[in-house]
Amino acid sequence: MLTKQQLDEINGFISDGSKIVITAHTNPDGDAVGSSLAVYHYLKAKGAEVSSMVPNKFPGFYNWLSASNEIIVYETDAKKAKKALMGADLIFCLDYNAVHRLGAMADILRAAKGKKILIDHHVSPETESFDYVLSDINTSSTGELVYDFIVALGDEELIDSKVAECLYTCIITDTGSFSHSCNNPKTYDVMANLVRKGIDARRLHGFIYDTFSENRLRLLGFAINDRMLVWEELKTALIYLTKDDLKKYKYQVGDTEGVVNFALSMEKVNLAVLVTEKDKKIRLSFRSKGDFSVNNLAREHFNGGGHRNAAGGNMNLPITDVIDKVKSVLSSYRTELNYNNASTDGL
């Protein structure tokens, strides 16, 4: 946690009616959007002038979150985002460990004069880029840290049902509905308190997970049936989706969320990879069971990173070359990949 003095300084900014900007990472997920909006509602309740922004569009299944329509998307509203960032006294940096994770927004954040506070749970935070750092890799989600932060500022009562819905989204999405990063009793204590705030957890879960379009579900079926390679000797399954595949199923942002988890759900698989052909680059998603670190794998070979059991990467090669590269890199980890997984992740 931050020191008492740091909390007092931050409280000074918040209570002063200062201009505050909230930022979160590229390809925002439930934790990024949820923690941004939780902080947004909290700061508004404290009387601050707040804006929230993300580098690019987030999935439509987070649109039910209160004030999600207030989030500025840099990709489509760069001027507005830049103006707010440059004029901010305090900048929240949520759910990312390094400024480059802001993509096209990164240089503006670097140039911004406001004090920067990082709240994050990814490994190896770039601490020198921030004035205040609240980072804990043993926490389920950035949302859980935001909860701790608000409580540490003495504002537990400001966690109303709106804030609680946002924080619920963070924890439920970053633990895969309590299927990983879920061995810490404290996470359940926090969730219990969120339920006490009056959220309808069952309904919210449905908003996130049961609002597929027909195209999205058919894309999932196609991906598993027609685009999944299984490399038994590497205990790995890889699903790839080309630009044409995505076009055929009228891809919308978020439609490939969760696809990689189906590959990991096979008993014989320890590592799952999703390779997606985006406009100008190839995006990779890695998931593992047990001790095999996809964070290290993504960092060392695929220009990315993340957590031990969930990470992402990026390549600028034709998709077939990327698939070949994944296979050849993994071949050098053959021994490491051939463990009998008990599927524990320690957290």
Q: Pick the closer one to ligand 5GP by CB: 101 or 301.
A: 101
Q: Pick the closer one to ligand 5GP by CB: 27 or 51.
A: 27
Q: Pick the closer one to ligand 5GP by CB: 29 or 165.
A: 29
Q: Are 138 and 119 spatial neighbours (Cβ–Cβ below 8 Å)?
A: no
Instruction: Compose the 138-167 pattern: x for residues touching Mn ion by CB under 5 A, - for all others.
Output: ----x-------------------------
Q: Pick the closer one to Mn ion by CB: 95 or 255.
A: 95
Stretch of 34-42, 131-139, 180-188, 309-317 lying at the interface with ligand 5GP (CB under 6 A): 309-317
Q: Does the protein bind ligand 5GP through residue 306 (CB under 6 A)?
A: yes
Stretch of 61-69, 203-211, 247-255, 311-319 lying at the interface with ligand 5GP (CB under 6 A): 311-319
Considering the complex, what minimum distance in angstroms separates the CB of residue 120 from Mn ion?
A: 8
Stretch of 70-78, 96-104, 150-158, 170-178 lying at the interface with Mn ion (CB under 5 A): 170-178
Q: Does the protein bind Mn ion through residue 120 (CB under 5 A)?
A: no
Total chain residues near ligand 5GP (CB under 6 A)? 15
Q: Does the protein bind ligand 5GP through residue 311 (CB under 6 A)?
A: yes
Considering the complex, what minimum distance in angstroms separates the CB of residue 278 from ligand 5GP?
A: 12
What's the rounded Cα separation, in Å, for the pair 330 and 63? 38
Tell me how crowded residue 327 is: count the other CB atoms within 10 A of its CB.
15
Instruction: Compose the 96-115 pattern: x for residues touching ligand 5GP by CB under 6 A, - for all others.
Output: -x---x--------------
304 binds, among ligand 5GP, Mn ion, none (CB under 5 to 8 A by kind): ligand 5GP
CA atoms within 13 A on the CB side of 247: 6
Question: 291 vs 82, 187, 264, 309, CA distance in Å?
Answer: 41, 21, 14, 8
**What's the chain look like in SS3?**
CCCHHHHHHHHHHHHCCCEEEEEECCCCCHHHHHHHHHHHHHHHHCCCEEEEEECCCCCHHHCCCCCHHHCEECCCCHHHHHHHHHCCCEEEEECCCCHHHHHHHHHHHHHCCCEEEEEECCCCCCHHHCCEEEECCCCCCHHHHHHHHHHHCCCHHHCCHHHHHHHHHHHHHHCCCCCCCCCCHHHHHHHHHHHHCCCCHHHHHHHHHCCCCHHHHHHHHHHHHHCEEEEHHHCEEEEEECHHHHHHCCCCCCCCCCHHHHHHCCCCCCEEEEEEECCCCEEEEEEECCCCCHHHHHHHHCCCEECCCEEEEEECCCHHHHHHHHHHHHHCCHHHHCCCCCCCCCC
Considering the complex, what minimum distance in angstroms separates the CB of residue 142 from Mn ion?
A: 5
Q: Does the protein bind ligand 5GP through residue 305 (CB under 6 A)?
A: yes
Considering the complex, what minimum distance in angstroms separates the CB of residue 61 from Mn ion?
A: 16
Six token digits for residue 175 = 């633990």
Q: Does the protein bind ligand 5GP through residue 304 (CB under 6 A)?
A: yes
Considering the complex, what minimum distance in angstroms separates the CB of residue 94 from Mn ion?
A: 9
Choosing from 165, 174, 255, 277, the residue that interacts with Mn ion (CB under 5 A) is 174
Six token digits for residue 301 = 């070979």
Q: Does the protein bind ligand 5GP through residue 30 (CB under 6 A)?
A: no
Considering the complex, what minimum distance in angstroms separates the CB of residue 274 from ligand 5GP?
A: 7
Which residues ranging from 230 to 289 are in contact with ligand 5GP (CB under 6 A)? 285
Considering the complex, what minimum distance in angstroms separates the CB of residue 150 from ligand 5GP?
A: 22
Considering the complex, what minimum distance in angstroms separates the CB of residue 186 from Mn ion?
A: 16
Q: Are 190 and 171 spatial neighbours (Cβ–Cβ below 8 Å)?
A: yes
Considering the complex, what minimum distance in angstroms separates the CB of residue 59 from ligand 5GP?
A: 11
Residues in contact with ligand 5GP by CB under 6 A are 25, 27, 29, 97, 101, 285, 304-307, 310-314
